[in-house]
Amino acid sequence: MKTHFKFLFRKDVLLSQVLAALLLMGGFLTVSFGAWPIDTCQVFEILLMKLKLFSGPVSEMETTIIWDGRMPRLIVAFMVGFSLAGAGCIMQALFKNPMASPGVIGISSGAALGAVIAIYLGLAARHIIALPISAIACSLLTLVIVFAIATSRGHTSISTLLLAGIALNLVFGALTSFVITLGAREFDVGRVIVTWLMGDLNNRSWEHVYIVLTTTLMALGGTMFFARDLNVLMIDEETAVNLGVNIRMARAALFFFSSLLTGGAIAVSGVIGFVGLIAPHIVRGLIGPDNRKLIPLAGLLGAVFVIYADLFVRLVVKVDLKIGILTSLMGGPFFLYLLIRYRNKFEYM
């Protein structure tokens, strides 16, 4: 009995229960409320009907709103938040830096540039997988460039890492603006690009769900396979070698998985910043640095963050505020807090 109670009151178990409750509540609010409010009983009947557990009469219009409109939006929000937080965990562990994240070190900007090019060239309109492939490829290339710049003689400099990320963000931002300028000649293309860069979950479909679900499950499975190696790499490379870790293979695989998570998420939602910075940092402070627990729990917190941010812009704000703008407004001050907290650990001239 005592063992049972100890298990229930473990920090990771409590956190998972709280996050599960928040996700259930957020999911219910997402599918029930909007421009067309739907009665709770109707919501459950429609969901049960789609699961072949109910055969009574339901409204065809409300079924379309819930199943083809709000459910894909909810699942995409969940997967995007989970993916970005998971990618943040991997990067913070590999770089041994609590401020590493897809947005801070330029990975999101690289993925965004790849996606914008795919939109401008019309590749995204021709085939739905063109955009995620372009985003993932560019995010992987960006991560390799950042790591190559920041690493010298096996040591990764925190200050160089951040400066490289800032520089690449500026370069990719300029290139993205150039593509937008070219796309402005065609109003529809320019509007799609600008809206997408702000981070947007409007008009998500089941095709978007299949894309991000595939990339998330593939990357999560691979990351959890290397989670023990990632824990050892956080100590130092000599210890990792002594414990039998193939450093090059583990690092290359984890780089690929973090790029897959980032690129897949950005491909279906646009640029949603700072989720990969905030969620891992909060969860690490609560349960510790063990990536076998940290990655899934940070992923759940990232999902909660994106779902509730989406609810806020849909139900509370009266203007057309994009979710990426809201997460940046929240994440920017948090990043400044981290800079102040860890400033004594930086290198000075």
Domain CATH number, residue 277: 1.10.3470.10
> Is the pLDDT at 340 greater than 80, yes or no?
no
* Range among 34-43, 55-64, 164-173, 328-337 rated most confident: 164-173
In a domain, residue 71? The reply is no
Helix axes 206-225, 247-269, angle to 10 degrees: 160
CA gap 139, 214 in Å, rounded: 17
pLDDT score, position 6: 54
Domain containing 217 equals: 84-345
In a domain, residue 66? The reply is no
The bridge status of strand 151-152 relative to strand 155-156 is antiparallel
Beta strands in the chain (DSSP E): 151-152, 155-156
> Is the pLDDT at 349 greater than 50, yes or no?
no
pLDDT score, position 187: 64
CA gap 299, 296 in Å, rounded: 5
pLDDT score, position 223: 94
In a domain, residue 336? The reply is yes
Higher pLDDT, 147 or 254: 254
Please give the tally of structural domains in the chain. Answer: 1
Unique residue bearing structure tokens 């309109």: 125
In a domain, residue 28? The reply is no
Q: Which amino acid is at 16?
A: S
CA gap 76, 284 in Å, rounded: 25
In a domain, residue 159? The reply is yes
Judge if pTM exceeds 0.85: yes
What is the percent of the chain with per-residue pLDDT over 70, rounded to a whole number?
92
Higher pLDDT, 265 or 329: 265
Tell me the CA distances in angstroms from 32 to 39, 61, 318, one per residue in order. Answer: 7, 14, 18
* Range among 51-60, 122-131, 305-314 rated most confident: 305-314
In a domain, residue 200? The reply is yes
Q: Which residues are CB-neighbours of 349 under 8 A, at least 6 positions away? A: none
pLDDT score, position 78: 96
In a domain, residue 94? The reply is yes
Q: What is the mean pLDDT of residues 173-182?
A: 86
Q: Do residues 168 and 109 lie in contact, with contact meaning Cβ atoms separated by under 8 Å?
A: yes
In a domain, residue 12? The reply is no
